[in-house]
Amino acid sequence: MTDLSLSEFYDAVEAEGRPLLTADEFARRLEESQADADEALTRLADQGLLERVDVENDPVVWYPTEWGELASRERVVVFPERREIVVDRPTQYTQARLSQFAHLVDTTGTEPGTRGYLYRIRPEDVWSAPFDGVADLILTMRGIFPRRYEGLEEWVESQWKRANRFRLDTHEDGYTVLTAATDDLMGNVAMEKLDDDAIRAPISDTEAWVNEDAIAGIKRTLYEAGYPVVDDRDLERGDPIDADLTTELREYQQSWVDSFLEKQAGVLVGPPGSGKTVAALGALAEVGGETLILVPSRELAGQWREEIARHTTVDPEHVGEYHGGQKQLRPITIATYQIAGMDRHRRLFDEREWGLIVFDEAHHVPAPVFRQSAALQSKHRLGLTATPVRESDDETDIYTLIGPPLGTDWSALFDAGFVAEPEVELRYLPWDDDMAENEWASAQGRERHVLAGSNPRKVEETRKLLADHDGKALVFVDYLDQGEAIADELDAAFVSGETPHHRRERLFESFRTGERDALVVSRVGDEGIDLPNAELAVVASGLGGSRRQGAQRAGRTMRPVGRAEVVVLATHGTREEEFARKQMRHLAEKGVRVHETVVGADEPDAGDAEAETGNNEAEAGDDEVEASSDELEASTDEAEPSDDAASE
């Protein structure tokens, strides 16, 4: 008992609900003898951490020496009936652990560093929690919560069991069978909710012959009903290919591969720079069957081809690309989602027996234009993404169509030094002049948002940031005029949807090799571009986009070595402030710390307003309509058609 910590005393004070404790009360809280409690309290008092006072009717009471420490420490309050957790001033450790089994709903408070956070545990959070068993999940909950909540733990156990109530298997005669754990589930859930064309014929009270073409719909429907399906079909394994990995996997990458091979399907969720592509190639070598790799752009297809050559022994002649630029079907084929989803091309992919399908940037899969490609099935399905969140709230489709999430929490990679944790700053700028502010104040709706995003002060602030920065930098914009103005100020190149494909590739290559140390990019830089050495990212506009877009842009600096810095510029006093916090949501959920700085109108470099917020996320109000950046190109003066679609 003598090794009692001050934190344990604080816990007892909060649990007791009063600021003073006797040794007897403290002993009862910790289930220790009063003598042991008194000895431990005396030791803390000798260290100056506690004070004691004699009371007439109670021999001695104890209280903290520094009341401010008690008032400013993290508090976790659980509402078990609602399955909600409110955390005041959460630590990075707590945020990372909560992100494994709970969904961040909202924040409260306005002052930096004082916000509280509301989490909710949904059924899908339990189904997709990255634990080997429900016991590990419950142990993690107990390590965060102030006490045990038996009712909540029972609910979590029941949800965990629901994830194994339906199963898809291949009959010995080759057709697919849906099996339910009970006849009640088959009759009252499957038969009632599935479309008529999904079931071909009943086999028994718990089994049914299902339509092979309706598998994706069956999985999605039962998932929405609260019963994620275990897919144990004997799917195609593909003709064998000769592929060995020439790069040694890090320990966590090997654990990703091992977990994937055990489950045979899943989505690897890891930060940019953590080596998801190399881990996927490790899985490819282990599976050893013909492989289809689906990507959102031609640029990314070319990068995958280079990575395969760099990290494996695969014969280059066995690797092909299939998109608007070229159409090669090879034992390892890299195709764009758009092409693979088109009826006239998909037949060719259906006819091939793929042993592994890799869905890169897997957050695209739920979008209608990409969903068709997800109907392609193989024994092994691996999704890769750093940001599975989608504004349309259908990210669960990713796990339904591909598999459950795999991987480790980001904070473990930061702590181990495998990925540089970004220093994220939300910098709020004044208007450049009264005329610009007055124009914004008199504008309405969309025009007001564009004016805030295009605040001329951002051009000068970007120039100052890059002047103080050593290393390569990316500047993200959503507006052509703004991008050209910043590029002129920096004497840098501007890459947008209007940049010809061949010039775009040359500019990216010159940035990678160090010939250029700065690029201004529009949405074409949000994903699918390998920019491994960008130490600084400046987000000058685009704060009306999605959380995923914000995390993608910040993620451009998250690499294994060196300093990683992200500065998000927002116009002070406008809705951009809320959007800035909202865009950092995914990073904040993963435990990344975010700072806020308010730049004074007369003191552009005022840094004393900076404060650490821990998890600076605030949901924007409902009065501004935002289009999902997965479905629409919102908030731009430019339209960037897919080069795959355009070339068709």
pLDDT value, residue 318: 93
Lowest mean pLDDT among 333-337, 356-360, 440-444, 503-507: 503-507
The more confidently predicted of residues 275 and 201 is 201
Does CATH place domain 166-227 in 3.40.50? Answer: no
Torsional sign, CA 472, 476, 479, 485: negative
For residues 223 and 151, the model is more confident at 151
200-218 per-position pLDDT tens digit:
999 999 999 998 878 878 8
Quote the pLDDT of residue 411. 53
Q: Tell me the CB-side half-sphere exposure of residue 97, using CA atoms within 13 A.
A: 18
The predicted pLDDT at position 588 comes to: 55
Q: Which CATH superfamily is domain 251-408 in?
A: P-loop containing nucleotide triphosphate hydrolases (3.40.50.300)
Q: Please, are residues 218 and 178 in contact by the beta-carbon 8 Å criterion?
A: yes
Cα 453 versus chain centre, distance: 25
Q: Is pLDDT above 70 for 230?
A: yes
Which residue ranges does the chain devote to CATH 3.40.50.300? 251-408, 420-647
- For the chain, how many residues are written? 648
Alpha-carbon torsion (293, 296, 300, 301), positive or negative: positive
Phi, psi angles (nearest 5°) of residue 18: -145, 150
Element at 90 (helix H, strand E): none
**CATH code 3.30.70 region(s) in the chain:** 166-227
Locate the DSSP E strands across 15-139.
50-55, 58-64, 75-79, 84-88, 103-108, 116-120
Burial zone of 625 (CB within 10 Å; 0-12 exposed, 13-18 middle, 19+ buried): exposed
Query: Can you tell me the mean pLDDT for 124-142?
Result: 84
Task: Give the CATH superfamily of 420-647.
Answer: P-loop containing nucleotide triphosphate hydrolases (3.40.50.300)
Is the pLDDT reported for residue 557 higher than 50? no
Q: Where in the chain is the domain with CATH 1.10.10.10?
A: 6-69
Q: In the predicted model, what is the mean pLDDT of residues 454-479?
A: 88
- CATH code for 6-69? 1.10.10.10
pLDDT at 589 over 60: no
* Residue type, position 546, single letter: S
Q: What is the pLDDT of residues 67-104, one digit of tens each?
A: 555 555 677 888 999 999 888 777 766 776 787 788 77
**Which of 522, 564, 533, 538 is closest to 465 using CA atoms?**
538
Is residue 462 pLDDT above 90, yes or no? yes
Q: What's the pTM?
A: 0.50
Q: Coil, strand, or helix at residue 170?
A: strand
Residue 43 CA: distances (Å) to CA of 22, 48, 55, 109, 242: 15, 9, 20, 37, 67
Q: Are 269 and 385 in contact (CB under 8 A)?
A: yes
Q: What would the mean pLDDT of 157-176 be, rounded to a whole number? A: 88
Q: Tell me the mean pLDDT in the region 259-266.
A: 80
106 closest CA partner among 588, 639, 605: 588
pLDDT band per the 50, 70, 90 thresholds, residue 607: very low
- Quick one: average pLDDT of 579-602? 66
